[in-house]
Structure 1
Amino acid sequence: MTKIEIIMADVRAKIATVTYLPGTRLPSVRATAKHHGFSPSTVVEAYERLQTDGIIVSRPGAGFYVCDIIAPLSLAAIGPNLDRAVDPLWVSRQSLETTSEALKPGCGWLPPDWLYAEGMRRGLRYVAKADTSVISEYASPLGLLELRQLLTRRMAGLGIEAKPAQVILTESGTQSIDLIFRFLLMPGDTVVVDDPCYFNFHALLRAHRVNVVGVPYTPTGPDVDAFASVLNEHKPRLYITNAAIHNPTGATLAPATAYRVLQLAQAAGLYIIEDDIFADFETTPAPRLAALDGLSKVFYIGSFSKTLSASMRCGYIAAPNEWVEHLLDLKIATGFGGGQLAAAVVLSALTDSGYRKHMAALHTRLARARAQTVPRLTKLGIVPWLIPQAGMFLWCKLPDSRSAAALANHCLSKGVVLAPGNTFSQSKNAESFMRFNVAQANDAKIFEVLAQALN
């Protein structure tokens, strides 16, 4: 990259991250030259090229200003200049686009034959014989009543009191998060995430052009002292986290930590999104912030892509009463009326007599896979940060502080898709960590490729 390109990239990145808002005056040519250690003529040339591209405008005698029309959003351009191997969008695309022959211990879902396929097939047959409106008409704004009633009963088992009128069905868990982001956030707001956290939180937050601050995650939940410090210093508007089984660490929120986090959040007027997508993987229920808060400032969300089907998309939001109408308006504005088909099939599968038996067998299968995967990784010097009580993930430290990004790139060329640590880390301090999915790690080739790359 030339000196001129460096200056242009710096300006573009600051516009994309809303550091420079429309109409902002850029630093003077002299100040920019001094900051970068380049000549003033280099800065002038960079500014003139940006002006030609319609990014900035010159006002004679006043300097250069960001144009009032914001440049098109490029998610890949937002954030530090990283190797593409640690970009969350790269990881997602590799996991989704690689051939069926590729091995995917870095992906975040179960193999197809581990899901409740028979229950879904029965659900599809049942719905196919149902009233024609189910397969042909829009759903009501809230979504299928019977599924919302079932969800409130399931929530009650976790101590969350919600009425069906507080539950909004969505097309996916990601859509649920996006709707809440659209409702709560403005560009430039600050959001707190766990460090590490689910990598698509980072990608989605980039799209909403907000500031993101990470709080270190411990085996019992977020570091409470660090959480308090962030709330005091940054005055964030929102905190997003996993309930039950944390992604990527597999850790479980401890009751004492949950109470303290909620106390701090309430004192700061902080909203919380609690993503409970792994609820059915639990063997011993963890505390839910939504239960402790009474759905006052906590939005509780979930979906069924991890246990039923990633193809039949259906998610939900349990929201504080006063925000339901606003979220429904946003849902209609961005997606009009949702479909009924997915909700009806999901309802049939969840109420099918075999679902509980399927999940009990899945718990056993995951425990066995975990017990088999840990020693195979340990033999290579790859050590789990903790041994989770349940779920599919292992958060592991590589030997000799090896670069997870470099390892991921090497293994990709051998047909193995990995998930390097900095993909999940806001602070980028997880360079030598890797997330493994034990359900996708039963092929000996994975460990052969890892062994060759580590030697």
Structure 2
Amino acid sequence: MLQLDPQAASSLTSQIVQQLSAKIERGLLAEGSRLPSVRGLAEACAVSPFTVAEAYNRLVAGGWIAAQRARGYFVSRRPLAAAPQVARAPVDEAWLLRRVYEDTQLELQAGGGWLPHDWLYEDGLRTALRNLAKAPGELLTRYGHPQGLPALRQHLQWQLALRGIEAPAERIVLTQGASQGLDLVLRLLVKPGDTVLVDSPGYSNLISALLGHGARVLGVARTPQGPDVAQLAQLAQQHRPVAFFTNSALHNPTGTSTSAHTAHQLLKLADQYDFQVVEDDPFAELQLGHAVSLAALDGLQRVSYLGSYSKSISPALRVGYLVGNEALVARASRLKMAAGLTSSEIMEAATLAMLTDGHHRSHLDRLRERLQEAQARVCRRLGELGWRVFHQPQGGLFLWAEAPTAVDASNLTERAAAAGIALAPGRFYLPEPQPCRHFRFNAAWADHSRLYGWLAAQGH
């Protein structure tokens, strides 16, 4: 029935799975037909019954066959494949979330929000996961602490102190990436109908989440020194917002960082007009030199601080953190448990292992240098092609550039997608709909001859 090769690279179990699933796929084994018993197939193929049992278990898990108690194994009914959809999805606000994560044809993520895999700490992650596989079973099977792994929070306390942020471990909540932290603080601080201020341009996912929550979202123009404090004062006086959400370091999408002078003015306005500040800081580890932190200046009174390891280690970890005053952290812990119980202690343990393995620091040093060099090249090449860079970052992922006058942003984005290139049009990052010829570029991906050549061929 089956032709197995003990010398093949794939295991005997895998060969049985592959050959039986292929026969089912081609219709050689009809729906509802009974398969040989485990012992019968083992004897026919001269393999162990354990090998066949494992293969059958995998086929059941894959939906190829079904196990019927006391009767045996039967070929499952397979649903017909859906006809391919030929209609093209529109380039709208959902495009960035949908296509860059789902469309495998978009190989060059020139506007993406993450680093290429070979820029991340892949070796450290592999080592950490291998070592975790040897850990006691309790670590691999239990729910974690409501606030997250205590040892990682204690390490974070030390890391944050190096940034000037005094936060005891009890005032840190680990989250499923910074995204969950943003969702928690959004729901704690903002009620439907409240006015909220954001950077403009700003983080597109945050803007969508706020609008979906029913908030009134107003943009504060971004300058090379951070938020435009004159406009912030005007909006705060006129609309009395409950909160201002901002990136301080290596802002998404402009790559700018808030200056010390701007930070002090911002905090004075928050005190004057009684609004909270949410400092979303997932790029802090990528900053070259000292970065100004609103949380450090404020002492975590009005400022809630968010961070993540997705940008520097791996987005697959989904490990982030929320830091705030005692009352906010207590409420965030309860809300986190109510919404989804604890975060993944396994991933938190892996993160701690990487942060303390002795090599993470050198990884960060190399990563910062690579990003600084890539930023310089991308800014120069885009300038040569007629694009105007808003601000040349000294590191980090992003830069904000305006296309030449004749360019239609939506049309350029669609044509790029057809060529396997993901661009990120600027209107995705604006809280108020308006024409925009700016694009967000990710320096790690955009520093590529394929992108430069394609833009040149478009006349840009």
TM-score (ref. length: structure 2) = 0.78
Where does residue 348 of structure 1 map in the other structure? 353
Where does residue 194 of structure 2 map in the other structure? 189
* Residue number among 319, 322, 327 corresponding to 1:322 in the alignment: 327
- Which residues of 2 match residues 224-303 of structure 1 at below 5 A? 224-303=229-308
- Amino acid corresponding to residue 287 of structure 1 in structure 2: V
Q: What's the offset of the Cα at 1:253?
A: 0.5
Where does residue 20 of structure 2 map in the other structure? none
Q: What's the offset of the Cα at 1:100?
A: 5.8
CA distance in 2: counterparts of 1:312 and 1:100, whole angstroms: 24
CA distance in 2: counterparts of 1:447 and 1:275, whole angstroms: 32
Aligned partner of residue 193 in structure 1, secondary structure: strand
Where does residue 85 of structure 1 map in the other structure? 91
- CA shift in 2, pair 1:145/1:219, >3 Å: same
CA distance in 2: counterparts of 1:355 and 1:387, whole angstroms: 27
Q: What's the offset of the Cα at 1:84?
A: 4.6
Deviations 1:79-131 (A, max 9, x none): xxxx95241x3112221112166211010110001000111111112222222
Q: What's the offset of the Cα at 1:331?
A: 0.5
CA distance in 2: counterparts of 1:388 and 1:307, whole angstroms: 17
Where does residue 61 of structure 2 map in the other structure? none
* Residue number among 144, 158, 163 corresponding to 1:158 in the alignment: 163
Aligned partner of residue 120 in structure 1, secondary structure: helix
Where does residue 312 of structure 1 map in the other structure? 317
Deviations 1:357-391 (A, max 9, x none): 11111112112212222222122101211111211
- Which residues of 2 match residues 9-158 of structure 1 at below 5 A? 84-87=90-93, 89-99=94-104, 102-158=107-163
- Amino acid corresponding to residue 112 of structure 1 in structure 2: H
Contact 2:106–2:421 under 8 Å retained in 1: no
RMSD after superposition = 1.5
Aligned partner of residue 400 in structure 2, secondary structure: strand
Q: What's the offset of the Cα at 1:284?
A: 1.7
- CA shift in 2, pair 1:449/1:127, >3 Å: same
Q: What's the offset of the Cα at 1:452?
A: 2.8
CA distance in 1: counterparts of 2:201 and 2:406, whole angstroms: 17
Aligned partner of residue 311 in structure 1, secondary structure: helix
CA distance in 2: counterparts of 1:234 and 1:336, whole angstroms: 36
CA distance in 2: counterparts of 1:121 and 1:338, whole angstroms: 20
Aligned partner of residue 241 in structure 2, secondary structure: coil
Pairs aligned (count): 372
CA distance in 2: counterparts of 1:394 and 1:303, whole angstroms: 20
* Residue number among 356, 375, 379 corresponding to 2:384 in the alignment: 379
CA distance in 1: counterparts of 2:253 and 2:91, whole angstroms: 17
Where does residue 62 of structure 2 map in the other structure? none
Larger-Rg structure? 2
- Amino acid corresponding to residue 110 of structure 1 in structure 2: L
Deviations 1:48-106 (A, max 9, x none): xxxxxxxxxxxxxxxxxxxxxxxxxxxxxxxxxxx95241x311222111216621101
Contact 1:85–1:420 under 8 Å retained in 2: no
- CA shift in 2, pair 1:225/1:401, >3 Å: farther
Where does residue 173 of structure 2 map in the other structure? 168
Q: What's the offset of the Cα at 1:453?
A: 2.9
Q: What's the offset of the Cα at 1:181?
A: 1.1
Deviations 1:245-298 (A, max 9, x none): 111111111101000000001111111111110011011222111111111121
CA distance in 1: counterparts of 2:154 and 2:147, whole angstroms: 12
Contact 1:244–1:285 under 8 Å retained in 2: no
Instruction: Tell me whether 1:447 sits opposite 2:448 in the alignment.
Output: no
Q: What's the offset of the Cα at 1:228?
A: 0.3
Instruction: Tell me whether 1:392 sits opposite 2:397 in the alignment.
Output: yes
- Segment drifting more, 129-138 vs 444-453: 444-453
- Identity within the alignment, %: 38
Aligned partner of residue 99 in structure 2, secondary structure: helix
Contact 1:107–1:418 under 8 Å retained in 2: yes
- Segment drifting more, 274-283 vs 131-140: 131-140
CA distance in 2: counterparts of 1:339 and 1:219, whole angstroms: 38
CA distance in 2: counterparts of 1:405 and 1:122, whole angstroms: 43
Deviations 1:157-191 (A, max 9, x none): 11111110000011111000001111111111111
- Segment drifting more, 372-381 vs 302-311: 372-381
Q: What's the offset of the Cα at 1:147?
A: 0.5
Contact 1:137–1:339 under 8 Å retained in 2: no
Where does residue 184 of structure 2 map in the other structure? 179
Structure 1 alignment gaps of length 5 or more: 1-82
- Amino acid corresponding to residue 258 of structure 1 in structure 2: A
Deviations 1:375-412 (A, max 9, x none): 22122101211111211211101111633222111211
